[in-house]
Amino acid sequence: MSPVIRVGTRGSALALAQTQAIAARIGSAAKAEIEIVEVTTHGDTSRESLSSIGGTGVFASALRESLLAGECDLIVHSLKDLPTAGFPGLRLAATPKRADARDTLCSRDGHTLDTLPEGARVGTGSPRRIAQLRARRPDLDIVDIRGNIDSRLARVSDDLAADDPQRLDAVLLAAAGLGRLGKLDHVSEYLDISSWPTAPGQGSLAIEVREDGVGEPLDRALRAALESVNHGTTAATTLAERLVLAGLEAGCSAPVAATAAVDSELLFLTATVYSLDGERSLTSSHAATPEAGGAAYLADAARDVAARVVAELLGNGAADLAVLKGTS
């Protein structure tokens, strides 16, 4: 009989889609059966704004408790929702290859961000996106929204009457989530990373396991399977981005954007902190050269470049620009 690996996930359509794709790869590599364990989090049941309930970290806590309790053997997160602080008894075991990290605009009548009419109603629940919208289009009516991708897209549907208070002219959504659900046909504009940077870790997944493992013989097979799905460049670039959040003592929902990339044997990192009104921002960019090839050297370069970016941002007044302290 094949061993069974229990994979914990949130029960949303997006969480299930991304978890099932990764779980299938792990099951194949480990030659094991997969059992999906759905976990309901406070973030799934609350309709309050993310900032009022503790930021996107609320999506991770119930999953982590389930893993610690032995109800599953590993859990899959959207990395941008994962608090930067470590969780006692757990470790980050793998970061699969990153999907598209860009934000998208899904609008009525195919509008781009620049062609939306004055006063158009645009929905998002992200303080970072709100600040960026206010900076670029202060004339827009920004609506703080929650809900899954389908419920957000429904608010841009022509099925809603013009005077329906739920009706929006556009919503901002992550390209990765739309892609994993096969809904990229709703995109009217992809926002370029260079001018519209996104959240640390956006587009990436994270797999957590217990530090004490799951017991032999499955432990060895699972470790090998996790190594097979881990993507070294993604692990290093997302580490650099998330170290910016940690260094700024910012929560996952803080108005902070960070983008790292490896190119020509250099690890580049750019991070921006926004004021919530969108009127001010601070940006820092640095690069580091890994001393040699391999994951350990990439990780060292990520730590080096993140430390310099954080020092510059704080030195230039980032802590006074936005409320950075968070639960992440």
In one-letter notation, the amino acid at residue 35 is E
Q: Are 276 and 250 in contact (CB under 8 A)?
A: no
CB burial of 121-148 (b: ≥16 within 10 Å; e: otherwise) equals bbbbbbbbbbbbbbeebeebebbebeee
Average confidence (pLDDT) over 159-165 = 88
Domain 232-327 belongs to what topology?
Answer: Double Stranded RNA Binding Domain (3.30.160)
Shortest CA distance to 207 belongs to which of 61, 57, 92, 72? 92
Pairing state between β 103-107 and 170-174: antiparallel
- Please tell me whether the overall predicted TM-score, pTM, comes out greater than 0.85 for this model: yes
Give 189's strand partners.
105
Supply the pLDDT for residue 325. 63
N-to-C CA span, the chain:
41
Domain 1-96+204-230 belongs to what topology?
Answer: D-Maltodextrin-Binding Protein; domain 2 (3.40.190)
Domain with CATH 3.30.160.40 in the chain: 232-327
Considering the segment(s) 103-190 as one domain, its CATH architecture is 3-Layer(aba) Sandwich (3.40)
Question: Any residues with CB less than 8 A from the CB of 319 and at least 6 apart, and which?
Answer: 248
At 249-280, the pLDDT tens digits run 887 788 999 999 999 889 999 999 999 999 99
Supply the pLDDT for residue 117. 97
Supply the pLDDT for residue 159. 86
Check pLDDT > 80 for residue 214.
no
Domain with CATH 3.40.190.10 in the chain: 1-96+204-230, 103-190
Which one of 42-56, 120-134, 241-255 scores highest in mean pLDDT?
120-134
Q: Please report the DSSP string for 31-58 in residue order.
A: T-EEEEEEE--HHHH--S-GGGGTSTTH
At 18-32, the pLDDT tens digits run 999 999 999 999 999
